[in-house]
C-alpha cells in the first residue's frame, strides 16, 4: 500500500476497519465471521457499526486493500491435500490421477532428501556413497550444488580396485543427459532410507557437461587438473568439452573491457582485492585500466596494505569473482569469450 493511502487508513481505529470490512462482505460470509467472534469482540464491533455513520467509497477500498495485503502475507492461499484430491478425482481418470500423485510425491520427497543431504558433512556423504556404482554417484552429485558436489568428490577414493572413482564420476556426470524413472528407483534402493527419491516426472533433462564443468571448477587446481588429465587419456573430446565450459580465474584476460566494467560494478571490492593478490600482472592491469586514474591508485594502495594473506582466502575470493562473472554471463550482460573487435 502506498504511504499516502496508509496515512489515510491510520486515521481510523482497528475496530472501525473491522466494521467496514464486515459490512463490505456478502451477507452469508459476514454472518460466518460474526459467529466466530468472541462475545467482547462482537459487542465492540456492534457498537462501532452503529456509530460508524457514512463511510466514503475510497475509504472502503483502502480498508479492503489493507486487509488483502495483510492476509496475503500471513495466510497464503493453500489447498488442503484432501480437497485437492477430491478435485483431481473429478477431473482426471483414475490412472492419470495415480500417475500425477506418484510423480508429485517423488518430486516433493526428492527435494526434502537433497535438502537434508546438503546439510550433511561432505566426508559423511562420500562415505555413504563411495561403494556405489560411479553412475549412481554421478546422479546423486548432479542433484547437489556444484560446490557441495566438489567437496564430496574430494573425499571419494581415487582408487577403488582398478577404478579411479573420482575420474569415473566426473566422466559420467559430463555424459548425463536424462535420468529415467527406472534409474531413480535404483538410486532410491541403493541409498535405502537416506534417499527416498530424486527428480520428478518420467525423466529429468540435464546438462551433464555443465554440471561436471562447474564441479571441476570448484575443485582445488591440482585435483581438477589431475582429473582432467586422466579423462583426457581415455576420452580427449570429453575432457575438451568439460574444459571449454569451465571458466578459470586466468581466463579473465580473455574478457573485453565492457565485461571488466560490468564485473567492477557487481563484485565486492574486498573480494576483488583478495582475488588479485598475487595474480598475474596482465589480469591486475586489465582491471586497473578500466578504473579512473584516482580509483586505480587507491586500489593499488589498498592491495599493498593487505600484506601477506592465506592462499585459501585468495582462492575463496577468486571463486566468488568467478561466480559473479558466470552470473553476469547468464544474465547476458557479458560474454565469456569476449567479443569480436569492432571496425
Query: Could you report the per-residue pLDDT of 51-103, keeping only the tens digit for each?
Result: 766 777 778 888 888 877 776 555 444 444 555 556 556 666 777 656 555 55
What architecture is domain 111-245? Orthogonal Bundle (1.10)
Q: In DSSP terms, which residues pair with 180 in a beta bridge?
A: 203
pLDDT score recorded for residue 75 = 44
Do the domains 111-245 and 3-74 match in fold?
yes
Contact between residue 279 and residue 322 where contact means Cβ atoms under 8 Å apart: no
What is the average pLDDT across 280-307? 92
> Could you state, in order of their start, the residue ranges of all structural domains in the chain?
3-74, 111-245, 249-330
| pLDDT band (50, 70, 90) for residue 261 | very high
pLDDT score recorded for residue 67 = 77
What architecture is domain 3-74? Orthogonal Bundle (1.10)
Phi/psi class of residue 195: alpha, beta or left (left: φ > 0; alpha: ψ in -120 to 50)? beta
- CATH of segment(s) 249-330: 1.10.220.30
Vertex 59: Cα angle to 58 and 62 (nearest 5): 90
pLDDT score recorded for residue 271 = 93
Q: 172 in helix, strand or coil?
A: helix
As a whole number of angstroms, the distance between CA 87 and CA 92 comes to 9
What is the average pLDDT across 27-45? 75
Amino acid at each position: 500500500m502506498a504511504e499516502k493511502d496508509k496515512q489515510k487508513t491510520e486515521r481510523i481505529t482497528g475496530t472501525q476497519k473491522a466494521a467496514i470490512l464486515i459490512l463490505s462482505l456478502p451477507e452469508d460470509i459476514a454472518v460466518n465471521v460474526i459467529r466466530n467472534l468472541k462475545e467482547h469482540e462482537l459487542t465492540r464491533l456492534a457498537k462501532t457499526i452503529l456509530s460508524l455513520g457514512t463511510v466514503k467509497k475510497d475509504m472502503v477500498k483502502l480498508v479492503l486493500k489493507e486487509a488483502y495485503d495483510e492476509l496475503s502475507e500471513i495466510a497464503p492461499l493453500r489447498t488442503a491435500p484432501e480437497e485437492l484430491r477430491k478435485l483431481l478425482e473429478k477431473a482426471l481418470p483414475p490412472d492419470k490421477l495415480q500417475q500425477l500423485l506418484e510423480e508429485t510425491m517423488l518430486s516433493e520427497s526428492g527435494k526434502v532428501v537433497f535438502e537434508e543431504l546438503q546439510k550433511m558433512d561432505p566426508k559423511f556423504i562420500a562415505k555413504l556413497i563411495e561403494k556405489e556404482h560411479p553412475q549412481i554417484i554421478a546422479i546423486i552429485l548432479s542433484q547437489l550444488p556444484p560446490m557441495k558436489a566438489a567437496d564430496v568428490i574430494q573425499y571419494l577414493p581415487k582408487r577403488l580396485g582398478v577404478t579411479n572413482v573420482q575420474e569415473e564420476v566426473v566422466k559420467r556426470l559430463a555424459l548425463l543427459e536424462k535420468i529415467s524413472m527406472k534409474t531413480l528407483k535404483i538410486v532410491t534402493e541403493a541409498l535405502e532410507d537416506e534417499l527416498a527419491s530424486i527428480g520428478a516426472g518420467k525423466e529429468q533433462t540435464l546438462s551433464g557437461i555443465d554440471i561436471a564443468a562447474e564441479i571441476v571448477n570448484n575443485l582445488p587446481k591440482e585435483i581438477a587438473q589431475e582429473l582432467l588429465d586422466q579423462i583426457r587419456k581415455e576420452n580427449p573430446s570429453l575432457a575438451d568439452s568439460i574444459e571449454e565450459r569451465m571458466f578459470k580465474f586466468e581466463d579473465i584476460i580473455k574478457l573485453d573491457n565492457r565485461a571488466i566494467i560490468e564485473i567492477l560494478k557487481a563484485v565486492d571490492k574486498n573480494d576483488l582485492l583478495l582475488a588479485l593478490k598475487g595474480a598475474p600482472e596482465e589480469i591486475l592491469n586489465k582491471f586497473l585500466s578500466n578504473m579512473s586514474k584516482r580509483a586505480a591508485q587507491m586500489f593499488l594502495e589498498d592491495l599493498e596494505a593487505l600484506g601477506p594473506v592465506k592462499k585459501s582466502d585468495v582462492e575463496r575470493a577468486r571463486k566468488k569473482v568467478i561466480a559473479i562473472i558466470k552470473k553476469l554471463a547468464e544474465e547476458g550482460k557479458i560474454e565469456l569469450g569476449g567479443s569480436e573487435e569492432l571496425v
